[in-house]
Amino acid sequence: MPQYQNIVILTGAGISAESGLATFRSSNGLWNNHPVEDVATVEGFQRNPAYVHAFYNELKQELVKAQPNPAHLALTRLQNEYPARISIVTQNVDTLHEKAGSRNIYHIHGQINQAVCQNCGQILETFGDVDTETVCPHCQIMGMMKPNIVFFGENLLCMDEVDRLLRTCDLFLSVGTSGVVFPAAAFVQIAKLNGAETVEFNLEPTSNNYYFDRHIFGKAGSTLPAFIDDLITNR
Ligand code: OAD
């Protein structure tokens, strides 16, 4: 019997930093030249959908080139070599967990390679451009596509399943997230109060650290593979 049966890993922008992607709250963060109210809110999208589409089309071109780093690959190794249910709940809209070959991935903030039709709800999967003239392949209506990114003011995706996983996990890892954006910032609390062991991986202490049993400081590309090696060896 392995030590853990149900492992949940919450990932944030920090896990993709070593793949060359800027984190949100760093000085050269993704929103630096774009006010968050313009590119990541429902009102911003209603005000100027063409501008918001252009922002995500450009970001898509950057994200499509990025490659997974040892932290993403370590999670895939864990899924392949540790006999437990292992779920990755990511706040990241990049697709580096998929590129690393991971499975059971829950994109609670959406994903860059998807757009959703606001008329019929159909998801369009594409790494190509989407704009105000894109026609929904399902309902054939033009101009109703929205990047499938959860804007401030919108509900997170997959939350019923994620909530169930958090309440039943026995090990919760948080990797590269500042823990300031709710509700994801409260996931550690749910896991801990339901009996999970909790470990945080970050460069530095975060403001949201009360419910973590352990903190492992350093770059996730080094700390996470070492931790996972140990888990697999001592399972
Ligand atoms: P942040 O930019 O807020 O935080 C990134 C965290 O990663 C920081 O705490 C860094 O210290 C840490 N970090 C950076 N490099 C690291 C490395 N190599 N190894 C380990 N840790 C590292 O990003 P998130 O917490 O992901 O929402 O931000 C949460 C949400 O804020 C995002 O998903 C985004 C934004 O609103 C949407 O896009 C919907």
- Do 187 and 174 form a contact (C-beta atoms < 8 A)? yes
Res 122: pLDDT: 97
Q: Is 24 in the pocket of ligand 1 (CB under 6 A)?
A: yes
Q: What is the pTM of this model?
A: 0.96
Residue 197 Cα distances to 9, 122, 171, 182, 190, angstroms: 12, 38, 5, 21, 11
Instruction: Locate 193 and state its tokens.
Output: 């109060």
The rounded distance, in Å, linking the Cα atoms of 114 and 93 is: 10
Average pLDDT over residues 123-136: 97
pLDDT tens digit sequence for 8-66: 999 999 999 999 998 887 656 566 578 888 899 999 999 999 999 999 999 999 999 99
Res 127: pLDDT: 94
Q: Is 177 in the pocket of ligand 1 (CB under 6 A)?
A: yes
The rounded distance, in Å, linking the Cα atoms of 112 and 109 is: 10
Instruction: Locate 216 and state its tokens.
Output: 């492992």
Whether the pLDDT of residue 235 is over 80: the answer is yes
Average pLDDT over residues 209-227: 96
Considering only CA atoms, which of 70, 89, 55 is closest in space to residue 17? 70
The rounded distance, in Å, linking the Cα atoms of 93 and 115 is: 12
User: Where is pLDDT greater, at 109 or 181?
Assistant: 109
- Do 10 and 177 form a contact (C-beta atoms < 8 A)? yes
In what order do the strands lie in the sheet containing 105-107?
105-107, 85-90, 6-11, 171-175, 197-202, 214-217
pLDDT tens digit sequence for 158-187: 999 999 999 999 999 999 999 888 899 999
Probe residue for ligand 1, chosen from 15, 24, 108, 114 as the CB with the greatest number of ligand atoms within 8 Å: 24
CB atoms within 10 A of CB 27: 7
Please provide the DSSP assignment of 103-131 as one string: -SEEETTEEEEEEEETTT-PEEE-SS---
- Tell me which residues are annotated as active site: 109
CB atoms within 10 A of CB 212: 23
Probe residue for ligand 1, chosen from 88, 91, 108, 208 as the CB with the greatest number of ligand atoms within 8 Å: 91
Whether the pLDDT of residue 2 is over 70: the answer is yes
Whether the pLDDT of residue 209 is over 90: the answer is no
CB atoms within 10 A of CB 79: 20
The rounded distance, in Å, linking the Cα atoms of 130 and 149 is: 13
Q: Which helix (H) or strand (E) holds 11?
A: strand 6-11
Q: Is 79 in the pocket of ligand 1 (CB under 6 A)?
A: no
The rounded distance, in Å, linking the Cα atoms of 94 and 112 is: 6
Q: Is 56 in the pocket of ligand 1 (CB under 6 A)?
A: no
Res 190: pLDDT: 97
